[in-house]
Amino acid sequence: MAVIRELDIETVNKIAAGEVVKRPSCALKELIENSLDAQSTLIQIKLIEGGMTLLQITDNGIGIHQADYPLLCKRFATSKIQSYDDLSSLTTFGFRGEALSSISQVSKVTVCSRKQGEPLGYKGIFLNGNLIEAPEPFALDKGTLIKSENMFSNMHERLRALGNHVEEYKSCLDIAQKYSLHYNNVGFKVLKLDSLEYSTSGREDKTEIITKILKPDENSLAAQILEIPPTQNEICSFQGLISSNDYSWKQSYFVLFINNRLVDCKELKSMIIGIYTSYCPRSSNYFVYLSLKILPSEIDVNVHPTKREVRFSHQNIIFTEIQNKIQEILKSNSTSKSFNIRN
Note the residues at the interface with Mg ion (CB under 5 A): 34, 94, 99
Please tell me whether residue 65 binds ligand ADP under the rule CB under 6 A.
Answer: no
Instruction: Using alpha carbons only, give the angle 19, 171, 36 rounded to the nearest 5 degrees.
Output: 75
Specify the residue, 62 or 310, whose C-beta has the smaller distance to ligand ADP.
62
Specify the residue, 94 or 187, whose C-beta has the smaller distance to Mg ion.
94
By the 8 A CB rule, do 74 and 101 touch? Answer: yes
Residues 266-285 close enough to bind ligand ADP by CB under 6 A:
none
Specify the residue, 144 or 200, whose C-beta has the smaller distance to Mg ion.
144
| Shortest Å distance, C-beta 301 to ligand ADP | 11
Specify the residue, 35 or 66, whose C-beta has the smaller distance to Mg ion.
35
| Shortest Å distance, C-beta 334 to ligand ADP | 45
- Which residue from 299, 292, 286, 320 is spatially nearest to 230, judged by alpha carbons? 292
| Cα-Cα end-to-end distance for the chain | 88
Q: Which of 29, 46, 96, 108 binds ligand ADP (CB under 6 A)?
A: 96
Please tell me whether residue 308 binds ligand ADP under the rule CB under 6 A.
Answer: no
Q: CB under 8 Å to 161, separation ≥6 — which residues?
A: none
By the 8 A CB rule, do 10 and 101 touch? Answer: no
Residues 118-177 close enough to bind ligand ADP by CB under 6 A:
144
| Shortest Å distance, C-beta 300 to Mg ion | 18
CB atoms within 10 A of CB 55: 27
Please tell me whether residue 79 binds ligand ADP under the rule CB under 6 A.
Answer: yes
By the 8 A CB rule, do 79 and 61 touch? Answer: no
| Shortest Å distance, C-beta 255 to ligand ADP | 22
- Which residue from 177, 168, 126, 178 is spatially nearest to 147, judged by alpha carbons? 126
Given ligand ADP, Mg ion, none, residue 123, with its beta carbon under 5 to 8 Å by kind, binds none
| Shortest Å distance, C-beta 146 to Mg ion | 11
Specify the residue, 50 or 94, whose C-beta has the smaller distance to ligand ADP.
94
- Which residue from 239, 211, 212, 215 is spatially nearest to 225, judged by alpha carbons? 211
Strand order in the sheet with 225-232: 225-232, 236-243, 287-294, 253-258, 261-262
Determine the residue with CB nearest ligand ADP. 94
Stretch of 7-15, 95-103, 220-228, 329-337 lying at the interface with ligand ADP (CB under 6 A) = 95-103
Give dist(CA 224, CA 254) in Å, integer: 16
Please tell me whether residue 99 binds ligand ADP under the rule CB under 6 A.
Answer: yes
- Which residue from 152, 157, 164, 195 is spatially nearest to 45, judged by alpha carbons? 195
| Shortest Å distance, C-beta 194 to ligand ADP | 22
CB atoms within 10 A of CB 174: 15
Specify the residue, 216 or 296, whose C-beta has the smaller distance to Mg ion.
296
- Is 13 exposed, middle or buried (CB count within 10 Å of its CB: 0-12, 13-18, 19+)? buried
HEC sequence for 159-171: HHHHCCHHHHHHH
By the 8 A CB rule, do 178 and 255 touch? Answer: yes
Q: Which of 50, 61, 121, 187 binds ligand ADP (CB under 6 A)?
A: 61
Specify the residue, 94 or 143, whose C-beta has the smaller distance to Mg ion.
94
Specify the residue, 34 or 107, whose C-beta has the smaller distance to Mg ion.
34
Please tell me whether residue 34 binds ligand ADP under the rule CB under 6 A.
Answer: yes
Q: Which of 24, 97, 124, 129 binds ligand ADP (CB under 6 A)?
A: 97
Given ligand ADP, Mg ion, none, residue 62, with its beta carbon under 5 to 8 Å by kind, binds ligand ADP
- Binding residues for ligand ADP, rule: CB under 6 A, are 30, 34-35, 38, 59, 61-64, 72, 78-80, 94-101, 144
